[in-house]
Structure 1
């Protein structure tokens, strides 16, 4: 399973209603996209206390073929046409779990990216992250959560989608908070649960 995200940072005075309209009119187009586990249409804005206005869709791909079909097809080209070509970040998924609020509509998401400590064996750092992931997944209000790693930069990613606006486990200082505008989840039921190996 692959996680993927691109951040489109917009001007401070950008009308974020444009992003809301974009998602409201186009978000459904990926509701049955082959190979897609889920796509969370994420947005954060300065009006809510974010340091930036940003559109930051997050994807979990069940298959690399689906990810490739999206990136080299008309879906991603629409992003390129409208905003320029963003850097596409991607990670290998270590674990995915549904939470107690799995049946609820998601409203917010948190994202944390942080380096694996240099002085600890990668397997030990991942084992510790998996323990924290299990606790997070069981938290009140959690719809779903994913833990992933970028071994090129030795970076861990934690994305948690929630049915409410509370942060759940207290946010670390480097946690980004987003609104969830829509969730396309054609392959969500096939993502499996727990660690990915």
Structure 2
């Protein structure tokens, strides 16, 4: 599993209805994308759930590098680049994935944090996987994932929730749509 996210931070007075309409119009393009586990179309609106910004920030869980690369190099990503400019794309290597009991996601939580210095890496990564399993076991959780960027030594915890009071810490996003053509193929549990 590979995690990927880019963020488009928009002006404070930006009409987020433009992003909502864009997602409604373009989301069908990824409903059958080979190699894609899930794409959560996420937004934050300034002043809502503590957000300081208006932002479009989709989060992807990929089953294959080939599918991710086809998306980035010649796929729908080019349309976003043409319309908004080329954003910085963050990538993390998957550590763990777990399903929850929730069905339709309404909100997402993303928490990025540094990998602590001085600890044994196996133990630290196992703790991240345990957090994924804990989050997925919470009522209303749809799914949870953990991944790491070993260049920056950054962990990311990502979870989707069926209600507006997620049981996770981090940045809260509204889920406009979830494309999940390969969700059932995402490897469960620890990924090493």
RMSD (Å) for aligned C-alpha atoms: 1.0
Q: What is the SS of the residue equivalent to 1:74?
A: coil
TM-score with structure 2 length normalisation?
0.97
Q: Distance in 2 between matches of 1:87 and 1:81?
A: 14
Query: Which stretches of structure 1, 4 residues or more, deviate above 2 A after TM superposition?
Result: none
Name the structure 2 match of 1:12: 12
2:185 pairs with 170, 190, 194, which one?
A: 190
Pairwise CA distance, 1:147: 0.4
Name the structure 1 match of 2:107: 108
Name the structure 2 match of 1:58: 59
1:45 aligns with 2:45: yes
| Equivalent residue pairs, number | 191
Name the structure 2 match of 1:147: 146
Q: What is the SS of the residue equivalent to 2:69?
A: helix
Q: What is the SS of the residue equivalent to 1:9?
A: strand
Contact 2:95 2:128 (C-alpha < 8 Å) held by counterparts: no
Name the structure 2 match of 1:135: 134
Q: What is the SS of the residue equivalent to 2:177?
A: strand
Q: Distance in 2 between matches of 1:126 and 1:60?
A: 18
Pairwise CA distance, 1:47: 4.0
TM-score with structure 1 length normalisation?
0.94
1:126-149 CA-partner distances (Å, limit 9, x unpaired): 122222221111010000111000
Pairwise CA distance, 1:74: 3.4
Name the structure 1 match of 2:93: 92
Q: Distance in 2 between matches of 1:74 and 1:33?
A: 10
1:6-59 CA-partner distances (Å, limit 9, x unpaired): 011001110000000000111111000111011000000114141110000111
Greater shift after overlay, 152-161 or 42-51?
42-51
